[in-house]
């Protein structure tokens, strides 16, 4: 997040601008964006006086501009030690803390800054914004209500609306709409608030208030609102207008990619996200979507590389770890997937899908006891998860327990009659128990859904041969041979030993 000269950022409303000291050469250099020269000038001051408050403040601002927030935190903290009444230092310190997701510490600094300047509206907007980011909407609204109505800035209306809507006061939030009519920035902020709260119609009504030249952001927000209403052609048209006005907007490209994905145009979605990544290679949200669409577009090696990068860039985000692990699991990179899934299950022990993913990995590793514990836990948490029952069937077949496997596969088919892998697995197990008519029925149903399962064709050939239908058996054996040649090296042959064709669905 760039920090303009004399201004400390906050995430939504705007900037707190307060000039802390008279202009000097180093500050002029900072204002011009010449950070190297500004830093050199600052160090020349600090070398003779390491406690120079103004120099430490400016160095902290330079570090903020460089996104070296931990260093900025230390520098502004030192200024606060030297001058506990410095509103500027506390404000900048709060910003540095917020940038590192240290919201509680940031809130404390904002509150102390407000105690020093009780009538500072911008600080109160900052604090309210941070409460919104934390999901503490009652505190946000309480903070905003300390601002006198005659001094309440239009830039704070979207924050107030977000708080009201989150607290269930929908009509009060919507009634704020006319108050932003004279501010294009506030109009678009409010439209995004409505959009975030599934109020696409209100978002579009808000955008209609824009009566000046419409910037790229207008078309971006409008496109997302139309997308939310299911009007995909119009949404795509608006987003393309946004992209034409601002070709470097990765957010717009991600929104376009999402529409392509919803239309099953995964190759187009993948290509669009590739472009977005070139524009913003450090963006975790772009990378996250890129991983998903790479898999959907069949770019598995690319997805695997991107999943590994996601783990490095977002090591504490459990949803990102789960997504990466799902890709690794599907690509049989079990050594990398298992620790991620174990971490996920340990930190979200009530998530049935986490235990399912871990159980799947253990099944692949033939760690049968661990797999059973994980899958049983998943089934206890959510008995409706068909994939858990499927994996329990796989595990039973792997352990040589066909009757148990049959029960699990039958349960899957009861819940999801067109589960091709469960039907193929059921047919394979009936073949093992020599219940040939049942095997034939299950395998033929599986073939009708997915004729490209090589092992299913093989088992169907065996069943037909055992039933004396040699000519039909030969046809299926020929299909098996053709499909097996196309099957990736290392892929499992038997359906009762294979993982499902899809990893657990990403949350």
Percentage of the chain surpassing pLDDT 90?
83
With H, G, I as helix, E, B as strand and everything else as coil, classify residue 357. Answer: helix
Residue 165 has pLDDT above 80, yes or no: yes
Q: Is residue 341 part of a domain?
A: no
Task: Looking at the structure, tell me whether residues 188 and 141 fall in a common domain.
Answer: no
Q: Is residue 325 part of a domain?
A: no
Give the residue from 215, 230, 247 where a domain finishes.
Answer: 247
Four-residue CA torsion sign, 142, 143, 149, 155: negative
Whole-model pTM: value is 0.74
Q: Is residue 305 part of a domain?
A: no
Task: Looking at the structure, tell me whether residues 130 and 198 fall in a common domain.
Answer: no
Q: What is the per-residue pLDDT for 332? A: 93
Task: Looking at the structure, tell me whether residues 369 and 437 fall in a common domain.
Answer: yes
Q: Is residue 316 part of a domain?
A: no
Q: Position of tokens 């409505």?
A: 194
Task: Looking at the structure, tell me whether residues 139 and 78 fall in a common domain.
Answer: yes
Task: Looking at the structure, tell me whether residues 140 and 232 fall in a common domain.
Answer: no
Task: Looking at the structure, tell me whether residues 109 and 21 fall in a common domain.
Answer: yes
Report the number of distinct structural domains present in the chain. 3
Confidence class of residue 379 from pLDDT cuts 50, 70 and 90? very high
The pLDDT tens digits of the residues spanning 250-272 come to 999 999 999 999 999 999 999 99
The pLDDT tens digits of the residues spanning 169-204 come to 999 999 999 999 999 999 999 999 999 999 999 999
Q: What is the DSSP string of 398-445?
A: HTT-HHHHHHHHHHHHHH-TT-HHHHHHHHHHHHHTT-HHHHHHHHHH
Task: Looking at the structure, tell me whether residues 35 and 169 fall in a common domain.
Answer: no
Domain that holds residue 215: 153-247
Q: Is residue 241 part of a domain?
A: yes
Q: Read off the CATH number of the domain in which 197 is found.
A: 1.25.40.10
Task: Fill in the DSSP letter of residue 197.
Answer: T
Q: What is the per-residue pLDDT for 488? A: 56
Task: Looking at the structure, tell me whether residues 172 and 132 fall in a common domain.
Answer: no
Q: Is residue 291 part of a domain?
A: no
Residue 22 has pLDDT above 70, yes or no: no
Residue 16 has pLDDT above 60, yes or no: no
Task: Looking at the structure, tell me whether residues 10 and 129 fall in a common domain.
Answer: yes
The pLDDT tens digits of the residues spanning 85-104 come to 999 999 999 999 999 889 99
Residue 506 has pLDDT above 50, yes or no: no
Percentage of the chain surpassing pLDDT 70?
91
Task: Looking at the structure, tell me whether residues 63 and 200 fall in a common domain.
Answer: no
Residue 352 has pLDDT above 50, yes or no: yes
Structure tokens at 125: 């907007």
Task: Looking at the structure, tell me whether residues 233 and 219 fall in a common domain.
Answer: yes
The pLDDT tens digits of the residues spanning 204-225 come to 999 999 988 899 999 999 999 9
Task: Looking at the structure, tell me whether residues 198 and 62 fall in a common domain.
Answer: no
Confidence class of residue 8 from pLDDT cuts 50, 70 and 90? very low
Separation of CA 346 from chain center: 20
User: What's the half-sphere exposure (Cβ side, CA atoms, 13 Å) at 187?
Assistant: 20
Q: Position of tokens 């002029």?
A: 28
Q: Is residue 304 part of a domain?
A: no
List of residues 6+ apart from 310 with CB closer than 8 A: 284, 287, 288, 291, 320, 323, 324
Q: In the beta sheet, which residues pair with residue 8?
A: 16
Confidence class of residue 505 from pLDDT cuts 50, 70 and 90? very low
Rounded CA separation 335/504 (Å):
18
Q: What is the per-residue pLDDT for 83? A: 95
With H, G, I as helix, E, B as strand and everything else as coil, classify residue 315. Answer: coil
Q: Is residue 437 part of a domain?
A: yes
Rounded CA separation 73/88 (Å):
13
Give the residue from 211, 229, 247 where a domain finishes.
Answer: 247
Burial of 507 (0-12, 13-18, 19+ CB in 10 A): exposed
Give the residue from 84, 113, 147 where a domain finishes.
Answer: 147
Confidence class of residue 459 from pLDDT cuts 50, 70 and 90? very high
Residue 245 falls in which region: left (phi positive, over 0), alpha (psi -120 to 50) or beta: alpha
Q: What is the per-residue pLDDT for 147? A: 95
């Amino acid at each position: 997040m760039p920090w303009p000269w004399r201004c400390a950022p906050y995430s939504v409303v705007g900037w707190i601008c307060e000039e802390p000291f008279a202009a000097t050469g180093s500050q002029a250099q900072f204002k011009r964006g010449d950070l190297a020269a500004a830093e050199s000038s600052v160090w020349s001051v600090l070398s003779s006086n390491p406690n120079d408050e103004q120099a430490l403040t400016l160095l902290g601002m330079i570090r903020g501009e460089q996104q070296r927030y931990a260093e900025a935190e230390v520098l502004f903290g030192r200024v606060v030690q030297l001058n506990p009444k410095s509103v500027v230092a506390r404000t900048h310190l709060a910003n540095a803390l917020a940038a590192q997701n240290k919201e509680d510490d940031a809130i404390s600094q904002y509150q102390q800054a407000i105690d020093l300047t009780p009538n500072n509206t911008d600080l109160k907007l900052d604090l309210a914004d941070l409460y919104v980011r934390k999901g503490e909407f009652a505190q946000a609204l309480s903070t905003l209500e300390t601002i006198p109505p005659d001094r309440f800035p239009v830039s704070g209306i979207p924050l107030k609306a977000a708080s009201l809507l989150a607290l269930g006061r929908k009509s009060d939030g919507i009634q704020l709409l006319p108050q932003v009519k004279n501010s294009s920035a506030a109009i678009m902020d409010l439209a995004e608030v409505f959009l975030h709260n599934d109020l696409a119609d209100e978002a579009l009504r808000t955008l209609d208030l824009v009566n000046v030249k419409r910037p790229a952001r207008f078309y971006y927000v409008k496109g997302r609102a139309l997308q939310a209403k299911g009007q995909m052609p119009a949404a795509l048209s608006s987003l393309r207008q946004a992209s034409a006005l601002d070709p470097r907007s990765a957010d717009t490209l991600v929104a376009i990619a999402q529409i392509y994905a919803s239309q099953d145009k995964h190759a187009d979605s993948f290509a669009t996200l590739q472009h977005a990544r070139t524009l913003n290679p450090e963006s975790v949200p772009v990378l996250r979507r890129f991983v998903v669409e790479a898999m959907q577009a069949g770019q598995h090696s690319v997805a695997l590389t991107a999943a590994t990068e996601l783990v490095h860039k977002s090591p504490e985000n459990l949803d990102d770890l789960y997504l990466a692990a799902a890709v690794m699991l599907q690509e049989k990179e079990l050594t990398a997937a298992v620790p991620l899934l174990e971490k996920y299950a340990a930190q979200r022990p009530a998530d049935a899908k986490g235990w399912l993913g871990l159980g799947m990995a253990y099944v692949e590793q033939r760690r049968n006891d661990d797999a059973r514990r994980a899958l049983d836990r998943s089934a206890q948490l959510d008995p409706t998860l068909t994939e858990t029952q499927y994996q329990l069937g796989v595990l039973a077949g792997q352990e040589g327990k066909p009757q148990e496997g049959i029960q699990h596969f039958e349960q899957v088919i009861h819940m999801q009659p067109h589960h091709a892998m469960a039907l193929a697995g059921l047919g394979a197990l009936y073949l093992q128990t020599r219940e040939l008519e049942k095997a034939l029925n299950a395998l033929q149903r599986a073939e009708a859904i997915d004729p490209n399962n090589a092992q299913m064709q093989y088992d169907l050939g065996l069943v037909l041969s055992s039933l004396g239908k040699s000519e039909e058996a030969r046809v299926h054996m020929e299909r098996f041979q053709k499909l097996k040649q196309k099957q990736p090296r290392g892929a499992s042959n038997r359906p009762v030993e294979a993982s499902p064709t899809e990893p657990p669905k990403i949350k």
